[in-house]
Structure 1
Amino acid sequence: MSPLLAAIVAGAVTANIADVPQRIRPGLQFCSKRLLRVGIALLGLQVTFAEILGLGPATLVVVFVVVTAATGRAAPLVPLFVLAFLGCAAIRSTGGIPSAALDLAGFLQTALFTAAMFALGTGVRLRALARVGARPLVLAAASTLWVAALALAGALVAT
Structure 2
Amino acid sequence: MPTPSSPVSSSSLAPGLVPCLLVAVLAVIVNLAAPAVSPLLIAIVLGALLTNVTEIPESWGAGVQFASKKLLRVGIVLLGLQLAIGDILSLGWRVILGVILVVTLSLLGTLAMARLLGISRPLSILIACGFSICGAAAVAGVEDIADADEEEVATAIALVVLFGTLMIPLAPLAAHAMGMGEVAGGTWIGASTHEVAQVVAAGGAYGAAALSVAVIVKLTRVVLLAPVAVALSFAERSRGTLREGAKRPPIVPLFVVGFLVMIGIGSLHIIPAGALSGLKVLQTGLLAAAMFALGLGVKVKGLMRVGGRPVILGALSTVWIALLALAMVVLSGTMGA
TM-score of the superposed pair, with normalisation by structure 2: 0.41
**Which residue, 82, 94, 106 being the options, matches 2:280?**
106
1:12 aligns with 2:48: yes
Which residue in the other structure is 2:19 paired with?
Answer: none
Moved more, 108-117 or 132-141: 132-141
Deviation, structure 1 residue 150: 4.6
Aligned residue type for 2:232: A
Corresponding position of 1:24: 60
Please state whether the residue corresponding to 1:75 is helix, strand or coil.
Answer: helix
| Residue 99 (structure 1) shift | 1.5
Q: 1:23 to 1:67 in 2, by over 3 A?
A: farther
State how far apart, in whole Å, the 1-side matches of 2:253 and 2:326 are.
24
AA paired with 2:44? I
Q: 1:128 aligns with which of 302, 305, 312?
A: 302
Shift of 1:7: 0.6
Q: 1:97 is paired with a residue of what secondary structure? A: coil
Give the Cα–Cα distance (whole angstroms) in 2 for the partners of residues 108 and 117 of structure 1: 14
- 2:102–2:324 contact (8 Å) kept in structure 1: no
Hey, what does 2:101 align to over in structure 1?
62
- Count the aligned residue pairs: 159
Structure with higher RCO (Cα < 8 A, 6+ apart): 1
State the Cα deviation string for residues 114-147 of structure 1 (Å, max 9, x = none). Answer: 1111112111111233344433322343344445
* Structure 1 residues 31 and 97: CA distance shift in structure 2, 3 A: same
1:87 matched to 2:244? The reply is no
1:32 is displaced (CA, Å) by 2.3
Identity %: 47
Q: Is the 8 A contact 1:41 1:81 kept in 2?
A: yes
Deviation, structure 1 residue 10: 0.1
Q: State the one-letter code of the partner of 1:88.
A: M
Q: When the two structures are superposed, what TM-score results if normalisation uses the length of structure 1?
A: 0.78
For 1:26 and 1:144, the matched residues in 2 are separated by: 34
Other-structure match for 2:313: 139
Contact 2:102 2:321 in 1 (8 A): no
Q: Cα RMSD between the aligned structures?
A: 3.0
Runs of 4+ in 1 over 6 A off after TM superposition: none
Q: CA deviation at 1:31?
A: 2.1
Equivalent residue number for residue 49 of structure 1: 85
Further displaced range: 12-21 or 49-58: 49-58
8 Å Cα contact 1:62/1:155 also seen in 2? no
Deviates more, 1:91-100 or 1:101-110: 91-100
* Residue of structure 2 aligned with 1:75, choices 232, 237, 242: 232
Match of 1:40 among 51, 76, 79: 76
Alignment partners' CA distance in 2, 1:29 and 1:147: 31
Q: Which amino acid aligns with 2:302?
A: A
Kindly tell me: are residues 101 and 43 of structure 1, through their superposed partners in 2, closer, same or farther at Cα, counting changes over 3 Å? same
Name the SS of the counterpart of 2:232 in structure 1. coil
1:119 to 286, 293, 306: 293
Aligned counterpart for 1:97 among listed residues 271, 284, 287: 271
Residue in structure 1 matched with residue 173 of structure 2 by the alignment: none
Aligned 8 A contact 1:58 1:158 in 2 = no
8 A contact 2:44–2:295 mirrored in 1: yes
Larger radius of gyration: 2
CA gap of 1:88–1:29, structure 2 versus 1, over 3 A, is: same
> Structure 1 CA distance, aligned partners of 2:283 and 2:289?
10
Pair 143,95 (structure 1): closer, same or farther in 2 beyond 3 Å: same
Question: Do 1:4 and 1:117's aligned partners in 2 also have CA atoms closer than 8 Å?
Answer: yes
